[in-house]
A and B are shown apart, each in its own frame.
Chain A
Amino acid sequence: MIDLAIALIQGSFSLDFTATLGDGVSALFGPSGAGKTTVLDAIAGLRLPALGRIAVADRVLFDSSTGINVAPYLRRIGYVPQDIALFPHMNVRRNLLYGRHPGTSPDLDRVLRMLEIETLLDRGVRDLSGGERQRIALGRALMSGPSLLLLDEPLAAVDLPLRRRILPYLARIRDDLGIPILYVSHDRDEVQQFADYVVRLEAGRVVGKDRKDSKDLKI
């Protein structure tokens, strides 16, 4: 269970976001500029809300009323940002192992197989294609043993054929590892195909919530 109440003001933009999400795949859906990335940054601890409460699996990460603010490196939130941000001075192997955490990290071989990146281990990250980079970034986040995975438009920068190839990997993460995923997208089809819960965000406000088991996602 992911419990989110985030309020912040940034220049002329104000965000007021409240949602309770289940353990499957949740999509944060809305046009660009709606504040989707800001929500992810706040959950990861990269941006400080003015007010609110963030709890993942009953662990409170932020609570303005009690002054709790867990440092980002202690939050165990896997994050794949839109710009991917693989460490350019490390090869694929070192990127993948950067966040490895004894005890909580999944087995490397399992992640390599799941994302089909076994043959890329010794490559430099500059030599990778867009789809490969995407999968390495997913692998790097998974290897840190996160209790929640944040994906910021993971398919926005890739073309349609590649999109079809990456989507199954996301489904595998959901099904094989059982890590809850919060997934940002502005693509209706993608959201309908992949998400169990949908929160629709517009201009910093939640304008609709829905669940997949209510037959069709009304978004």
Chain B
Amino acid sequence: MPIWRLTWFTVACAGGATLLVLPIGVLIAWALARGSFRGRTILEAVVTLPLVMPPVATGLILLMLMSRRGPIGRVLERVGIDVVFTWKAVVLAMAVMGLPLLVRTARAGFEHVDRRYEQMASTLGAAPLRAFLTVSLPLALPSVIAGAVLAFARALGEFGATIVVAGSIPGATRTLAVAIYTYAETGRDWEAVTLIAISAAIAFAALLCSNALAGKRLA
């Protein structure tokens, strides 16, 4: 598999994972920053879990849930969707591993927005959804984007969960991180080093972007 295809596949999956996780992550970040509801601390812990658990363990949990006998996989199979050991599993693993980083960064952004702006929006007749979309989200946007870039960078390097739930099928599920491991294992050191350089360059660019945005807050 040519290097450019491997790179493109990985970047596309990481991009897809980021888009998938963005609406959910923003919603959770908002709820954690502003909401007072039962189970708030539990939600916070569950979202943070992939950050502190061994990625292989997260991968195994995903495998159990998504396999044909698993509770979610069984339902999806009925509508003809197969996830495990396909590119969809790659995206899923990347999304789950990126979620905590997005939520933590976006949450800090929402907490930084002065509540007074949201209150003013409400006195001016804006229903909660409109106040969120026109005031809170734009004011927290640099942090939301920074969190998304961070999740993207994390997704690019995802290894442990991916290899368990998606495997390492050349041309189908093999990502840069998995390919680096495979090349290193089989003594193809130069190819491994090339891929390391590519991974580092993409991640470095993404992180620079994230830091620049996090520093640029509107409120």
Contacts and interface: CB of A to CB of B under 8 A. Distances in A.
B139 interface: yes
B126 A98 contact: yes
Contacts of B125: 73-74, 76, 99, 101, 144
B121 interface: yes
B122 interface: yes
Interface string A8-52: 000000000000000000000000000000000000111000000
B218 A89 contact: yes
Contacts of A75: 123
A44 B218 contact: no
B209 interface: no
Contacts of A79: 120, 123
Which of B119, B120, B138 has the most chain A CB atoms closer than 10 A to its own CB? B120
A219 B174 CA distance: 79
Contacts of A144: 123-125
A160 interface: no
A101 B139 CA distance: 23
A154 interface: no
A144 B125 CA distance: 7
A85 B114 contact: yes
Nearest to A76: B125
A89 B124 CA distance: 16
Given A73-B125, A99-B125, A46 B135 contact: no
A112 B116 CA distance: 24
Contacts of B181: none
Contacts of A101: 125
A77 interface: yes
Contact of A98 (B121, B127, B139, B218): B121
Contacts of A194: none
Interface string A60-88: 00000000000111111111010101011
Interface string B108-134: 000000101101111111111001001
Interface residues of B, number: 20
Nearest to A72: B122
SS of A interface (majority): loop
A44 B121 CA distance: 12
Nearest to B123: A79
A140 interface: yes
B219 interface: yes
A89 B114 CA distance: 13
A144 B218 CA distance: 25
B48 to A, nearest CB: 30
A83 B116 CA distance: 9
Given A46-B119, A72-B119, A85-B116, A99 B124 contact: yes
Contacts of B119: 44, 46, 72, 81, 85
Contacts of B121: 73, 87, 98
Contacts of A88: 117, 139, 218-219
Which of A45, A73, A83, A140 has the most chain B CB atoms closer than 10 A to its own CB? A73
Interface of B: 114, 116-117, 119-128, 131, 134-135, 138-139, 218-219
19 contacts: A45-B123, A73-B124, A73-B126, A73-B131, A79-B120, A81-B119, A85-B114, A85-B119, A85-B120, A87-B120, A88-B139, A89-B138, A89-B139, A89-B219, A98-B124, A98-B126, A99-B124, A101-B125, A140-B124
